[in-house]
């Protein structure tokens, strides 16, 4: 994942919803360079129009703060004027203050994104102040000479100046205005006439409603209303792609799938077909086509079954390549279409449900859930923490026990009363110690007390046999666990899948840590584990060490599980 330093404080949250600029008349600390707004104001021939937008939106002083880090994507004067002409106005005031704030917030990220990170391409890891993602792409055929002249934001604005450093971040200059996201995934489908059949499928199955929802609201026990953003990655099929398989209407598709007539029933084959085209989360092509180490394929859990994305010997990327006649590819020119609640990609075939029978290696990161990413990105975590991001000097912890990705039950006595750890911590590392060797710069830290439990969903796994290895973080304060001292039984945990007794094991992986040295270690927890069905599974951990309720240093720092396929050679052809 991209390593972006994120600065996030409570004051910023107040800023986003204030009617007036709360930082007006504030004194800013400037050393040998100007902060963002002051720099823009020093170049009126280039940025005077955007400065007017920032001031009218009450964000000019906000992005001048010395205590914050920002990355600004700034349209030059010509770009702003072209935008006004398109909107049939001559000033930002004619569009209204609410519109101006939404427009400005879409061009600002509360992170410091340097050039090396930026030109990595794909989706920028941090969201804008408007709670949206931006993408970076390269168009070598754009007639601009290639190289740095071919870098685009959201496929609509060329970057003309890269990473100009200011005292509180970076500025990138654009030759066009970015269009704020207002359409949902469903509206993106609906606005494109070539998706007529696919749109009707979404309508008939009820997936229209899900793909039209941006936020879910819930109340805490204290009555506070919280909003959680939904994100869906959707694989759209054009009418032309359907026609290649003899499908000219939804009726033809229903007949081909042998679906019944109750299309909103979750067991109906048309409903399942629609759900198979949806992945929870916001994933760009770059992320969908990224694999672990030397792997060339990855399984993705859709809302109805498992999808395989692979890179084959011809250098091309495929969906369900091993299905032969059912395989599909991405239409890159019409993929990476952003929406307010996700991403839309187009595929080359009607892409029916299909499941591979060949197990592949799967990495189960205990913290790789969209709901955690959204929670941290929304500023609900500890100030300064960014999802899957290491910082140079600080480790961060956020209590995520209440998030929907985990089902938690504390032990009868709870954790030690003197412990400084939360019950379930999302922990991000710093680069200054060996925890930096964990997989995605984060770990799940459990402090549930004796007999406390936590359950969570695994990624999709193909039916078959696997060797399972646990990767974990160890600190010297946990030496009593490693050595089975001070009453500890070695941090014993009970692992199981899908509440099946056949999968239950008692394991003490921290006793296999080789030395009392901080770092990331591994231990094989299953020499052989077999899954009879393809799909996601429910993984359960029970803390079975009595000192989990008495010792303030007790916790389990967990990085990931690695599932390595075991190939039964006796079943292979000679």
DSSP string, 124-135: -SSPBTTS---E
Backbone angles phi, psi at 4, to 5 degrees: -120, 125
State the burial class of residue 109 (Cβ atoms within 10 Å of its Cβ: 0-12, 13-18, 19+). buried
How far is C-alpha 447 from the geometric centre of its chain's CA atoms? 25
- Six-digit token string for 272: 């399942």
Residue 121 has a pLDDT of 78
pLDDT single digits (tens) 335-393? 999 999 999 999 999 999 998 888 999 999 999 998 998 888 777 899 888 888 888 88
Location of structure tokens 């066009």: 176
Report whether pLDDT(29) > 50: no
pLDDT single digits (tens) 63-107? 998 888 899 999 999 999 999 999 999 999 999 999 999 999 999
CATH superfamily, with its number, for domain 5-174: FAS1 domain (2.30.180.10)
- Residues 9, 12, 17, CA angle at the centre, nearest 5°? 145
Q: How far apart are CA 114 and CA 169, in angstroms?
A: 8
Phi-psi region of 269 (alpha: psi -120 to 50; beta: other; left: phi over 0): alpha
Residue 147 has a pLDDT of 58
**For residues 543-551, average pLDDT:** 98
Residue 570 has a pLDDT of 57
Paired with 143 in beta bridges are: none
Backbone angles phi, psi at 398, to 5 degrees: -130, 135
Cβ distance 299 to 362 under 8 Å?
A: yes
Cβ distance 72 to 113 under 8 Å?
A: no
Q: How far apart are CA 350 and CA 406, in angstroms?
A: 34
If we measure between CA atoms, which residue out of 541, 562, 536 comes closest to residue 468?
562
Contacts of 187 (CB under 8 A, 6+ apart): 212, 339
Residue 19 has a pLDDT of 45
Q: How confident is the model at residue 293 (pLDDT cuts 50, 70, 90)?
A: confident
**DSSP 8-state class, residue 458:** P
185-356 maps to which CATH number?
A: 2.30.180.10
Instruction: Tell me if domain 5-174 and domain 185-356 are identical in fold.
Output: yes
Q: Beta strand pairing status for 556-565 and 442-446?
A: antiparallel
376-to-189, 352, 385, 396 alpha-carbon distances in Å: 29, 35, 7, 11
Q: How confident is the model at residue 144 (pLDDT cuts 50, 70, 90)?
A: low
More confident residue, 387 or 205: 205
Q: pTM to 2 decimals?
A: 0.76
363-565 maps to which CATH number?
A: 2.60.120.260
Q: How far apart are CA 242 and CA 198, in angstroms?
A: 9
- For the chain, the structural domain boundaries read 5-174, 185-356, 363-565
**DSSP 8-state class, residue 154:** T
If we measure between CA atoms, which residue out of 383, 185, 377, 279 comes closest to residue 287?
279
């Amino acid at each position: 994942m991209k390593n972006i330093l994120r600065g996030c404080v409570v004051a910023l949250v107040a800023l986003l919803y204030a009617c007036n600029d709360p930082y007006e008349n504030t004194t800013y600390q400037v050393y040998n360079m100007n902060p963002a707004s002051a720099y823009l104001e020093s170049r009126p021939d280039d940025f005077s129009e955007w400065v007017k937008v920032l001031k009218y939106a009450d964000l000019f002083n906000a992005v001048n703060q010395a205590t914050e880090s920002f990355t600004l994507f700034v349209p030059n004067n010509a770009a702003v004027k072209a935008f006004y002409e398109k909107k049939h106005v001559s000033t930002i005031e004619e569009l209204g203050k609410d519109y101006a704030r939404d427009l400005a917030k879409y061009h600002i990220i509360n992170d410091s994104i340097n050039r090396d990170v930026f030109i990595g391409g794909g989706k920028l890891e941090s969201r804008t102040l408007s709670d949206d993602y931006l993408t970076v792409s390269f168009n070598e055929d754009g007639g601009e000479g290639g190289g740095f002249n071919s870098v685009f934001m959201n496929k609509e604005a060329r970057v003309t100046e890269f990473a100009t450093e200011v005292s509180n971040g970076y500025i990138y200059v654009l030759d066009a205005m970015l269009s704020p996201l207002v359409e949902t995934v469903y509206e993106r489908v609906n606005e494109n006439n070539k998706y007529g059949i696919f749109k009707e499928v979404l309508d008939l199955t009820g997936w229209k409603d899900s793909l039209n929802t941006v936020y879910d609201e819930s109340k805490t026990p204290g009555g506070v209303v919280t909003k959680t953003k939904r994100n869906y990655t959707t694989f759209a099929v054009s009418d032309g792609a359907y026609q290649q398989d003899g499908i000219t209407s939804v009726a033809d598709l229903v007949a081909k799938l042998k679906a019944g007539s109750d299309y909103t029933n979750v067991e109906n084959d048309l409903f399942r077909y629609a759900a198979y085209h949806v992945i929870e989360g916001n994933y760009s092509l770059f992320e969908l086509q990224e694999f672990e180490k030397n792997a060339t394929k990855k399984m993705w859990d859709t809302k109805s079954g498992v999808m395989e994305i692979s890179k084959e010997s011809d250098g091309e990327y495929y969906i369900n390549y091993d299905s032969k006649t059912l395989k599909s590819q991405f239409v890159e020119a019409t993929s990476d279409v952003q929406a307010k609640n996700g991403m839309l990609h187009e595929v080359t075939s009607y892409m029916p449900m299909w499941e591979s029978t060949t197990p592949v290696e799967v990495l189960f990161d205990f913290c790789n859930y969209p709901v955690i990413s959204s929670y941290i990105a929304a500023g609900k975590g500890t100030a300064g923490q960014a999802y899957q991001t290491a910082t140079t000097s600080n480790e961060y912890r956020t209590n995520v026990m209440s998030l929907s990705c985990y089902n938690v039950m504390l032990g009868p006595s709870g954790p030690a009363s003197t412990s400084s750890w939360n019950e379930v911590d999302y922990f991000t590392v710093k680069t200054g110690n060996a925890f930096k060797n964990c997989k995605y710069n984060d770990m799940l830290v459990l402090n549930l007390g004796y007999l406390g439990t936590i359950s969570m969903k695994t990624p999709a796994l193909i039916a078959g046999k696997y060797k399972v290895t646990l990767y974990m973080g160890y600190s010297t304060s946990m030496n009593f666990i490693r050595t089975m001292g001070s009453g500890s039984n070695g941090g014993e945990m009970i692992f199981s899948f899908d509440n099946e007794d056949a999968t239950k094991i008692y394991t003490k992986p921290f006793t296999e840590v080789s030395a009392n040295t901080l770092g990331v270690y591994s231990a094989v927890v299953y020499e052989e584990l077999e899954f009879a069905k393809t799909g996601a599974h429910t993984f359960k951990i029970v803390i079975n060490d009595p000192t989990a309720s008495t010792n303030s240093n007790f916790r389990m720092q967990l990085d990931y599980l690695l599932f390595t396929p075991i190939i039964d050679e006796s079943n292979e052809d000679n």
